[in-house]
Amino acid sequence: MKLTEVLKPLGVFVLVIAVVLAGTAILSVATGSNGSGPTDGQQIQGQSPGQFQPDAVNVEADPEEGELSVDAPEGEKKILVDTSHGNTFDRAKLEPVLEALAEAGHTVDIGAVSGGGFGSGDYNATLQEYDALLVIQPGSGFSDGQRTALQKYTDGGGRVVVLGEPTQSALGQGTFGLVPTQITFGANGMTTDYGARMGADLLYNMDDSANDNNFKEIYAEPTGNSPLTEGVETVTFSRAGYIVTVGDTDASVVLGAADGTRTLKDDRTGSYATAVQNGNMVFVADSDFITRSELYDVDNEVFVSNLLNFLVSGDKPDDVPSVPGQDDGGGF
């Protein structure tokens, strides 16, 4: 076979392919549009939206200033922190308060050292030893006898401060790590004796000027001229509840939630009392404001100082409350 016999058909083969493909390309280019387009640089356009600027985004945390102090009037006072009513609190929570009280020369017992028991007689004896009682988030109620003893105690000059939490979910330490639990204020019977009970819901406030960077960190303000709120303009409470005054009572509102505060589940606006005083008893609808992370927010440290001063300013004689058998004290 001659070389030309191979080359010629091969040439035709290549030519036909070339013609068809060139035709295709020409047709394609003719019908399409292929601009070189702008350069990358022309497409680059940065943006820095106004609403992303620091002025619009950054938040100021409440200043954590001030000092916790107890101005002891005179003498050493003994304070009992209640642990016998299923109280839910971390001891570390109390440390700043304990430190301030100790510094001012007072003694604090977490749980009764002597006495003990739940009988009314025992409870009277226990209370006799102390000038003031601090009750934090009691999960269970006070018995009738204990309530009677407390009445006699406060009537006789003993001071009682109750820090409670509304019903809410919390994380508890279970056998296998954290488990969701529900905490409930259990001593409404006792507080009702003083004309107040824990409200049924948590409070929130969406107004940024009425909360501490979170809707559940509400602000409360003094409602009168109580010594408890001397020097206080604003107090912040974390996941706080409210207090309902009951019936015809002498209980007066000391702190009220800021305007626009609502209940979380029912979403009702209203004026909500967050701290109430009835004579020698003070009831606050939050127990977290004494913890380190909350203590120095806004005027919390002033309010806590005032509360501690209230605790150590009683003038209870040593024989109050009188032990049953000597008077009409009830049983369980």
Residues that bind another protein (CB under 8 A): 9-10, 12-14, 16-17, 20-21, 24-25, 27-29, 31-35, 37-38, 43, 45, 47, 49-52, 56-59, 61, 90, 92-93, 171, 173, 177-178, 206-207, 212-214, 217, 293
CB of 224 to another protein, least distance (A): 29
C-alpha span between 82 and 222 (Å, rounded): 27
Classify residue 12 by burial, with Cβ atoms within 10 Å: 0-12, 13-18, 19+: exposed
Strand bridging mode 168-174 / 177-183:
antiparallel
CB of 51 to another protein, least distance (A): 3
CB of 128 to another protein, least distance (A): 33
SS3 call for 170: strand
Is the CB of 12 or the CB of 102 nearer to another protein? 12
Is the CB of 219 or the CB of 283 nearer to another protein? 219
What's the number of CA atoms in the CB half-sphere (13 Å) around residue 304?
A: 30
CB of 276 to another protein, least distance (A): 27
C-alpha span between 240 and 167 (Å, rounded): 10
CB of 206 to another protein, least distance (A): 5
To which H or E segment does residue 204 belong?
A: strand 203-204
> Which residue bears the tokens 């000038």?
131
Is the CB of 52 or the CB of 332 nearer to another protein? 52
User: Which ranges in 156-289 belong to alpha helices (H)?
Assistant: 188-192
Is the CB of 102 or the CB of 292 nearer to another protein? 292
In DSSP terms, 117 is beta-bridged to: none
Is the CB of 50 or the CB of 317 nearer to another protein? 50
Is the CB of 40 or the CB of 318 nearer to another protein? 40
Farthest CA pair distance, the chain:
141
CB of 177 to another protein, least distance (A): 7
Q: Are 34 and 25 in contact (CB under 8 A)?
A: no
CB of 299 to another protein, least distance (A): 16
Is the CB of 10 or the CB of 200 nearer to another protein? 10
In sequence order, what are the residues at sequence separation of 6 or more whose Cβ sits closer than 8 angstroms to the Cβ of residue 22? Answer: none
User: Which ranges in 53-204 belong to alpha helices (H)?
Assistant: 54-57, 91-103, 120-128, 144-155, 188-192
Buried b (16+ CB within 10 A) or exposed e, 165-180: bbebeeeeeeeeeeee
C-alpha span between 195 and 252 (Å, rounded): 9
CB of 135 to another protein, least distance (A): 21
Q: Backbone phi, then psi, for 64, in 5-degree steps? A: -100, 75
**CA nearest 285: which of 238, 223, 242, 244?**
242
Is the CB of 9 or the CB of 224 nearer to another protein? 9
